[in-house]
């Protein structure tokens, strides 16, 4: 059965963890979907791990739309969510809806994710939800704001910052977000927010107290050049690829391939 936003809520109610990963191309998306992942995110991390940009900021709507279409062809089970890239939704709720509607209509996404929990973003989330667009919110370390934040550092360490993030989470829930990504915040704070929300939280570098976890698949597979400290590689695929390519090159040069 295909996963819906309501299915994620039921998982929280049953205390069953939500499993989420990123996907950027057909073959990997198909394998991840077949593995039983609940949510696949065509994230703007694409910019860094697949397109070679120095941050998530430069990736465009057209680039993300292209990869979302590709992933859609490989997904039958998981809920497919697409990031809205920097500059495509912050100006106004109308701009956000124009961008989000393209991902739903042209690329087959079932929901969109956007960063930030300040008042204007809460208003945008409410507008999107009222307009029929499911929204996955994202607070804590928001990579699109990396220049404003002064780098990829943990958020919510002070009492004031923690209170601000909690307020944002409750406001986003009230605005209609179906779930919230909590990124790189202290584990006790993430657990506290999770306990007090009725919608699911999905953590990344936020400890085990969230309702689910998401990782960038390149980090999971050992393909990232600079994975974050909280990531756990489950296989060193980079080493396997280098080994296979080296053996192939040697076989070609020594005329062992083709047979």
Supply 243's token pair: 């080994």
Q: Is residue 92 part of a domain?
A: yes
Q: Is residue 231 part of a domain?
A: yes
Percentage above 90 pLDDT, the chain: 92
Q: Is 83 annotated as a binding residue?
A: yes
Tell me: pLDDT of 147 over 80.
no
Supply 48's token pair: 């860094």
> Which pLDDT value is given to residue 107?
98
Tell me: pLDDT of 238 over 80.
yes
Does the annotation count 167 as an active-site position?
Answer: no
Query: How far is it, in rounded angstroms, from Cα 23 to Cα 25?
Result: 6
Q: What is the mean pLDDT of residues 121-126?
A: 98
Q: CA torsion 79→84→89→95, rounded to 10°?
A: -70
34-88 pLDDT, tens digit per residue, is 999 999 999 999 999 999 999 999 999 999 999 999 999 999 999 999 999 999 9
Q: What is the mean pLDDT of residues 133-148?
A: 92
Which residue, 211, 204, 209, 179, is CA-closest to 13? 211
Kindly indicate the confidence band of residue 152, based on its pLDDT and cuts at 50, 70 and 90.
confident
Tell me: pLDDT of 150 over 90.
no
Tell me: pLDDT of 149 over 80.
no
191-227 pLDDT, tens digit per residue, is 999 999 999 999 999 999 999 999 999 999 999 988 9
Q: Is residue 259 part of a domain?
A: no
Indicate whether this model's pTM tops 0.95: yes
User: Mapping DSSP to helix (H, G, I), strand (E, B) and coil, where does residue 170 land?
Assistant: helix
Kindly indicate the confidence band of residue 148, based on its pLDDT and cuts at 50, 70 and 90.
confident
Query: How far is it, in rounded angstroms, from Cα 169 to Cα 179?
Result: 10
Task: Give the domain extent around 59.
Answer: 5-253
Q: Is 45 annotated as a binding residue?
A: yes
Task: Provide the domain count of the chain.
Answer: 1
- Could you check whether the bond before residue 188 is cis, i.e. omega within 30 degrees of 0? no
> Which pLDDT value is given to residue 179?
98
User: Mapping DSSP to helix (H, G, I), strand (E, B) and coil, where does residue 72 land?
Assistant: helix
Q: Alpha helices, DSSP H only, in 107-236? A: 119-130, 146-149, 159-175, 187-196, 217-220
Q: Alpha helices, DSSP H only, in the chain? A: 5-13, 26-34, 46-49, 61-72, 93-106, 119-130, 146-149, 159-175, 187-196, 217-220, 237-253
10-24 pLDDT, tens digit per residue, is 999 999 999 999 999
> Which residue in the list 63, 173, 183, 225 is annotated as catalytic?
183
Average pLDDT, the chain: 96
Q: Is residue 258 part of a domain?
A: no
> Which pLDDT value is given to residue 49?
95
Q: Is 211 annotated as a binding residue?
A: no
Mean pLDDT lowest for which of 123-132, 173-182, 225-234?
225-234
CATH number of the domain to which 135 belongs: 3.20.20.60
Q: Is residue 188 part of a domain?
A: yes
Q: Is 44 annotated as a binding residue?
A: yes
Q: What is the mean pLDDT of residues 85-92?
A: 98
Q: Is residue 66 part of a domain?
A: yes
């Amino acid at each position: 059965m295909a996963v819906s936003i309501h299915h994620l809520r039921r998982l929280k109610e049953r205390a069953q963890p939500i499993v989420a990963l990123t996907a950027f191309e057909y073959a990997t998306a198909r394998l991840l979907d077949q593995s039983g992942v609940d949510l696949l995110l065509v994230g703007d991390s694409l910019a860094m791990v697949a397109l070679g940009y120095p941050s998530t900021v430069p990736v465009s709507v057209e680039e993300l739309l292209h990869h979302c279409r590709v992933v859609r062809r490989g997904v039958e089970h998981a809920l497919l969510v697409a990031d809205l890239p920097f500059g495509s939704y912050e100006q106004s709720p109308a701009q956000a809806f124009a961008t989000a509607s393209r991902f739903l209509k042209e690329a087959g996404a079932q929901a969109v994710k956007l960063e930030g929990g300040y008042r204007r973003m809460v208003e945008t989330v409410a507008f999107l939800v009222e307009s029929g667009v499911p929204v996955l919110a994202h607070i804590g370390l928001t990579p699109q704001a990396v220049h404003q934040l002064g780098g990829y550092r943990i958020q919510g360490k002070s009492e004031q910052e923690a209170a601000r993030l909690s307020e944002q989470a409750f406001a986003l829930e009230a605005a209609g977000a179906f779930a919230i990504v909590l990124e790189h915040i202290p584990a006790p704070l993430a657990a506290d927010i999770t306990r007090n929300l009725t919608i699911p939280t999905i953590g990344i570098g936020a400890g085990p107290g969230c309702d689910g976890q998401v990782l960038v698949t390149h980090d999971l597979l050992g393909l990232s050049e600079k994975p974050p400290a909280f990531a756990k590689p489950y296989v060193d695929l980079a080493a396997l690829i280098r080994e296979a390519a080296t053996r192939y090159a040697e076989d070609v040069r020594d005329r062992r391939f083709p047979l």
